[in-house]
């Protein structure tokens, strides 16, 4: 069989590789994270879905599209070309998050079967779609918790690199219950005792097992670190912005463990070498690559 004659199993549908959702502690805000492999479709979605009343913000992070949603149900005033598709519902329970989509024509295909057949979906209801039909779906997802793990000072002047170790451990601990979302390098103030570049790492996960995830990550750090000054801590929750004033202080100048004490209550501290100062500072910069890398 030649390349030209190979049949397409489903020529008019694309399944998202994975859709995930996290909710704030009060259940009023959802972060919807859609992994995509069709860039054009993702850019079209970002442009139009941002017009949905429930969407507070949207952004692209690597191969994921992230929507910050208010919970509720709304009626979408769809209009071809101008507002052809969007998100019309988001609901949070103790263990699940449901999201509803609606669209016109090709936008209805994306709003229905493309989401309904995505990886990570527990169950769904979906309309018949295609041509000029109005179609949509409601998908039900696990309610994940965000965990951001901060790591610093695992290398020595002779060997190692913390950024590679953090990424490799993150891939190693990923399971169906703990999804690896992002890896952010944060530039810190170049203190005299740095290895060379003075950066710390934040690795973000969506998980239903926060403690087990952090335990596995810690075990591998202890196994592979080359430094006696390693710092490892984790933030469990929706929004780590309470740590940001401290983090910006670490980027601006040399700080001490006394400064770290001001944010300790927000963190699960696992390894408390001198690197804990930078490990904690990296956490609130997760996915904020522009500011994280400033010096």
d(CA 193, CA 77): 59
Residues 6+ apart with CB under 8 A from 18: 34, 35, 118, 119, 120, 179
What's the structural domain count of the chain? 2
> Do residue 171 and residue 121 come from a single domain?
no
pLDDT string in tens for the chain (295-residue length): 455 678 998 999 999 999 999 999 999 999 999 999 999 999 999 999 999 999 999 999 999 999 999 999 999 999 999 999 999 999 999 999 999 999 999 999 999 999 999 999 999 999 999 999 999 999 999 999 999 999 999 998 889 999 999 999 999 999 999 999 999 999 998 876 555 668 999 999 999 999 999 999 999 999 999 999 999 999 999 999 999 999 999 999 989 899 999 999 999 999 999 999 999 999 999 999 999 999 8
Question: Domain containing 29: what range?
Answer: 18-142
Place of tokens 């969007």: 86
160 and 87 fall within a common domain: no
CB within 8 Å of 244: residues ≥ 6 apart: 284
Cα angle 27, 33, 39 (rounded to 5 degrees) comes to 155
Q: Over the stretch 55-69, which tens digit does the pLDDT of each residue have?
A: 999 999 999 999 999
Both 278 and 150 in one domain: the answer is yes
Regarding whether 132 and 168 lie in a shared domain, the answer is no
Beta-ladder partners of 206: 146, 179
CA distance 53 to 86: 9
Q: Which two tokens stand for residue 208?
A: 């239903």
In angstroms, the CA 244 to CA 237 distance is 14
Q: State which of 142, 176, 208 marks the end of a domain.
A: 142
- Tokens 């904020």 correspond to what residue? 288
- Tens of pLDDT along 163-222? 999 999 999 999 999 999 999 999 998 876 555 668 999 999 999 999 999 999 999 999
Phi/psi at 53 (5° precision): -60, -30
Placement of tokens 């442009």 in the chain: 47
What is this structure's pTM? 0.95
192 in any annotated domain: yes
Q: Which of 80, 114, 142 is the last residue of a domain?
A: 142
3-state secondary structure of 3: coil
- Residue 106 domain-assigned? yes
Shared domain check, 151 and 117: no
Q: How far apart are CA 19 and CA 17, in angstroms?
A: 7
CATH number at residue 156: 3.30.70.2200
Residue 169 in any domain: the answer is: yes
Contacts of 250 (CB under 8 A, 6+ apart): 188, 189, 259, 277, 278, 280, 281
Asked if the structure places residue 2 within a domain, the reply is: no
Examine the domain organization and report whether 158 and 131 are in the same domain: no
Q: Which of 142, 165, 198 is the last residue of a domain?
A: 142
Q: Are residues 56 and 71 in the same domain?
A: yes
270, 152: one domain: yes
């Amino acid at each position: 069989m030649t390349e030209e004659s190979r049949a397409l199993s489903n020529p008019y549908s694309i399944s998202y590789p994975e859709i995930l959702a996290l909710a704030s502690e009060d259940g009023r805000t959802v972060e919807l994270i859609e992994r995509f492999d069709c860039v054009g479709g993702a850019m079209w979605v970002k442009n139009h879905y941002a017009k949905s009343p429930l969407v507070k913000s949207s952004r692209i992070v690597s191969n994921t599209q992230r929507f910050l949603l208010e919970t509720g149900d709304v009626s979408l005033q769809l209009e071809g070309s101008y507002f052809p598709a969007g998100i019309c519902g988001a609901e949070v329970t103790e263990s699940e998050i449901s999201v509803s989509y609606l669209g016109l024509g090709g936008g209805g295909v994306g709003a229905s079967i493309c989401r309904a057949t995505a990886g990570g979906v527990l169950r769904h209801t979906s309309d018949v779609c295609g041509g000029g039909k109005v179609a949509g779906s409601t998908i039900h997802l696990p309610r994940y918790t965000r965990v951001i793990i901060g790591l610093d000072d695992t290398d020595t002047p002779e060997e190692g690199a913390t950024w590679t170790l953090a990424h490799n451990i993150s891939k190693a601990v990923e399971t169906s219950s703990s999804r690896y979302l992002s890896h952010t390098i944060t530039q810190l103030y170049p203190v005299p005792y740095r290895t060379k570049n003075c950066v710390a790492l934040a690795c973000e996960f969506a998980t239903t097992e926060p403690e087990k995830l952090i335990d596995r990550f810690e075990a591998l750090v202890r196994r592979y670190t080359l430094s006696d000054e390693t710092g490892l801590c984790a933030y469990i929750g929706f929004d780590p912005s309470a740590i940001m004033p401290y983090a910006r202080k670490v980027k601006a100048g040399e700080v001490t463990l006394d400064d770290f004490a001001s944010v300790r209550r927000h963190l699960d501290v696992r390894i408390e070498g001198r690197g804990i100062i930078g490990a904690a500072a990296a956490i609130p910069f997760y996915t904020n690559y522009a500011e994280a890398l400033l010096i």
